[in-house]
A and B are shown apart, each in its own frame.
Chain A
Amino acid sequence: MADSMTVLRKAGPPGTKRNIVVLGDGFTAADQPAYDQWVDTTLIQGVFGHDYFAEDASAYNIYRINLESVDSGVSTRTYDEKGTVDPSDDTIASETAHNTALGMIFNGSWSHCWLEYGANTETLLQAAINTWVPDANEILVVLNNPNFGGCGGGGRAHVPMGVDWTVIAHEFGHGVGGFADEYSVTGNYTGGEQAWINLTTITDRATTKWRQFIDPTTPLPTGVGAGANYNQGVRPATWSSNFDVGLFEGGGTVSTGLYRPVENCRMNGNTPEFCPVCYTSLKTNRDHETDHHFRSAHAGDFYGTGRSDVLLHHGTSIQLFGNNAPDLVHRFSGVERVPGSWQFMPNDQIVIGDFNGDGADEVVIFNGVDWVMPYLGLLASDGAGGLRLIARYDADIPGWGGFARNDRFFKADLNGDGKDDLIVVNGDDWSMTYVGLLRSTGTGFYLTHRYDGDIPGWGGLARHDHFFVGDLNGDGKDDLVIFNGEDWSMSYVGLFRSQASGLNMTARYDGDIPGWGGLARHDRLFLGDFDGDGRCDVYIFNGEDWSMPYLGMFGSVGSGLAYVNRYDGDVPGWGGLARHDDFFAADLNGNGRCDLWAWNHQDWAEEYLGRMISSGTGLSAGFAADWVGEWNLGPADRFEVARFSGKSGQPSLYVHNTDWFGVISGRRGIGLDRIYYRWIHSYRYGRNW
């Protein structure tokens, strides 16, 4: 076996990421599996499988270099330390020389940094890095030696194999984060304030370094004495030694005179997570390297809790945040790919649904743009909080005749088996418009029907057909509604029932649905069961074609639509329908009737977010103007209907733009439940802006 390099994580171009390079010394060809296993267990599953490094995995390229040594195990050296920790007078007591790739020596002496370089180690190390990897910011050298120890500094860490991941994570706190130690050994600090991130001498509440994370009710200092924990007053029962911030004496290896942020951070006890101060510093300083943003956020119940979790798609990576009400908590990062494999790209089209009927959502991704051919993938739970690819269709799914760039996918349970299926349509890439029905098996899809240019009765599929999914007749199977206001001499609406034989048209409305006063080009449909009868109804809005905007309610009678109500120019409480009103259908108050969120950021002096509550036959509205709590509504905002908390309905909106993510509640009025800047994290007190 020759020397080699394996990219363990490819997050992006080396100049835009932190590059971690792992090298092994003292591993023969036969030892390489043990080395690989150590790297996987300690670095990938350990350091990058937990808290901060798991969350920001997309900031780090990780390269593993396999160097083949002649001898197994590194050279060793023993010092006569003369009974002191001062190494200046130590002499070498014994040595064993091994022929290894980097020539490193394990000495097992704390005062000699546990290990040391041989005469050619630096040269060999530089040569290996320059040969195998594009760049290196952090270098981790693993010695084939079973003992404990380790030597760090200058962006490097060297460890024997007896070191666990928490020690490496602590070391990365120094090498990546620039943090000081937070433990105490001995001594009193008498110097001035320095550039520490996580230590301070300042005990004044108004000026101390991490004051934004300290609850005003927390005494300062919070712990007084050598390496003190909370001892100034009664420690609150809910106090977290890891996450509640104060000023605790002892840190930077000295016992007194310096203060640390929490009782026990990773920079103190290795095992705990980074405290809010260290975490926020890492997040802030590495933020631009993650390429994270909130532009592409998707709500889904990925963990089967009945509440909406969040999937963030960052272009070439994803993150999953589980809804551990009342907080969203990071559960998974997929960088560049998930096992299976599916590789993420900016033009991924995401459809979320329960495709295997297990009560939790899976993810379908289609990409017709970024690859040499279009791909469709089904990602399901990996059993550990993440996702893995379980089916992939390259360029085609049998019977569809080839995926194409503008294929669009809709989820729909077409046969009522509890597993969401897919409807795929394409009106752009072929000589005619095609519609396909893809049945889910739970582990993949197969095509059951394809409609070439027409679904019988519709009179011809056309480019600007718009498709909507809902169970119109309450039979447990999702049906299809098509609207076309562009391609014909008038606007049309068609209703198609889903049956074993495919889609069967039950009604077609040519130019009008009675009571609407004429279908028109810019009619927009929103489906939802607004009367709670188990059948999906239809809201229609038009803000463009008439002298005033109109909003209509048409109830499904199973085989057709019946006029229920129409609002001309206004819905009471909304303050006037306007041209660019947009709507999202959802049961906001959990009464089984589908209501509407209303949104307008273009037609008025301020942005408006409203809720229109259905009585079954009518709507009553209210709105928030410009701000919802601390959320400043703006044109860049995007919304996802969700259930953040509660047992019924979908009363929440996940609102997001590049930098901000919020949770808006509409169950009773409109209020803001959560707001996050740049990253989702729940601080015990304070926040990162």
Chain B
Amino acid sequence: MIKKVKRGGAPRVDNSRPSKPPAPAAGSRVRAGDVEPPAYDGPRKPDRKEPGRSNPHSGGEGPSKPAQEPARRPRAGASDLPPGDQIPPKARRGGRARPAGEQYIRLRVRVRGDQLSVLDSHLVDGPLGQITGFSGANAYEVSVGDRLLHAGSLPDLGLQRSFANPNGPADQRGHHFTDRSTYEFMARVPAHEVTPETIDRIAIRLHRIKEEARTDRLGAAPLAEQFARQVRPVAELVGLPASVLPEAIEERGGRTPSL
């Protein structure tokens, strides 16, 4: 590979291919008929389409369109807006039919000091995305052994904030904060990771964020390894109850609506 130069020399020539005849002078009148164009395999074009003969490389296998109707301009004021939505190929009608695709489990977790407990769990249809930045007050992670399953940020966890009172006395012009001793958050984890074999080893950790943590791609290691400086674990639960197994959730009707 070579670089271009502003004033190139002779053009790169491939002598295995033919050259065109010399170009006429710029702007000169040129007569037709002096050139033998490259020939291919197909037929020569007729002057008019021959009845009953297919054009080359026509669809061939496809049907023909129905006979053309006379062109008709729509009446003034006529609407070209049909009612209803576009129809997807496989229309799904409401209900709770189980899709074959991905699912995740939403865990409602209670925090009391450094203790975590699972209050409830639900199964949600669809893929689970993974954020790559953690800011605000806290973050959680769900892991099994040294493998991160999912992590999320909890920007304003554990506090209650009354809105500023714009017409109140001076000391009410800001929020009134109340720290809560017991509070809850939602953790999420891909459903296929929660099995009878893994459930005892799955850990939920709550971290305090010391400094905004961000990466282009979150790795498979626990957050404390990936962001050693930015996060500090403040509460942990190792081992989940059997009630969060996908089958158990499904059995008790704990799947949320699929829209």
Contacts and interface: CB of A to CB of B under 8 A. Distances in A.
Contacts of A371: 86-89
Contacts of A394: 82, 86
A606 B78 CA distance: 56
Interface in B40-80: 40-50, 54-66, 68-74, 78-80
Per CB-CB distance, the 7 closest pairs between chain A and chain B, nearest first, are: A178-B136, A569-B11, A178-B155, A511-B37, A517-B20, A401-B65, A575-B4
A110 B162 contact: yes
Contacts of B3: 604-606, 625
Given A430-B63, A453-B58, A514-B32, 14 more contacts: A15-B102, A16-B129, A150-B162, A171-B163, A183-B174, A284-B133, A289-B131, A399-B72, A427-B58, A456-B48, A490-B39, A516-B35, A517-B23, A547-B16
A149 B71 contact: no
B115 to A, nearest CB: 17
Interface in B184-218: 184-186, 188, 209-212, 214
Interface residues of A, number: 155
B250 interface: no
Contacts of A562: 29
A682 interface: no
Given A284-B214, A569-B11, A7 B259 contact: yes
A484 B109 CA distance: 66
B5 A575 contact: yes
A446 B155 contact: no
A151 B160 contact: yes
Tell me the dominant secondary structure on chain B's binding face: loop
Nearest to B230: A195
Q: Report which residue of B2, B3, B80 has the largest number of chain A beta carbons within 10 angstroms of its beta carbon.
A: B80
Nearest to B119: A126
B: interface residue count bin:
35 or more
B158 A154 contact: yes
A459 B89 contact: no
B114 interface: no
A489 B153 contact: no
Interface stretch (A89-97, A436-444, A643-651): A436-444
Interface stretch (A29-37, A130-138, A256-264, A322-330): A130-138
Contact of B30 (A126, A178, A515, A547): A515
B171 interface: yes
A205 interface: no
B168 A110 contact: yes
A546 B161 contact: no
B253 to A, nearest CB: 10
Contacts of B55: 432-433, 453-454, 460-463, 487
Contacts of A126: 108, 120
Interface in A240-284: 253, 281, 284
Contact of B126 (A16, A131, A194): A16
Nearest to A566: B23
Interface in A381-420: 389-394, 398-402
